[in-house]
Amino acid sequence: MTTHLQVIVLNGGSSSGKSGIARCLQAVLPDPWLSVGIDGLVDSLPPSLKEPGDGIGFAPDGEVSVGPRFRALEQAWMTGVAAMARAGARVIVDDVFLGGAASQERWRTALAGLEVLWVGVRCEARVAAGREVVRGDRQRGMAESQAALVHQGVAYDLEVDTTRTESLDCARTIAARVG
């Protein structure tokens, strides 16, 4: 059982249930945990970086492209998240590893020296696609295209599957590993 855990990284495709799990973790964990997500970073970008090229682009089929200016800002964001943890905050990260193992390696570098629990959040592509339609705030096709892609080559301490398991139950499974 981990006692000095500082960061929980949730990785899963769009509409897999990461944000719901993060909210449930905040409710069930005894200490306060901050929740930060890649969606917040994307939402904070200026409009000029919310398009293909230098920023982040979303194709009509749901494919996501990431350019160099977005990647530089993402790296700064990761460094900032790590700084919060180093300053004593406990942090839940909600991310989508579009680059699979390479994305995890960027986080490993930023979080070096911190105690991290790596959690894979899986969801069957068809179920995630259905959630995507209901949400209405995502480019259709993202959930299906990302369901397996984001897990390629990624090493986890724990995996949960939201296909048939509620966010609260997944959060309780994760919380049991936090101590």
List active site positions: 39
Quote the CA–CA distance of 107 and 28 in Å, as a whole number: 25
- Please give the structure tokens belonging to residue 178: 């936090």
Quote the CA–CA distance of 90 and 46 in Å, as a whole number: 28
Q: Which regions of the chain does DSSP assign to beta strands (E)?
A: 7-11, 34-37, 56-58, 64-66, 91-95, 116-122, 158-161
Quote the CA–CA distance of 62 and 140 in Å, as a whole number: 6
Outline where 67-124 has alpha helix (H). 68-86, 101-110
3 Cβ partners below 8 Å, 6+ apart? 179
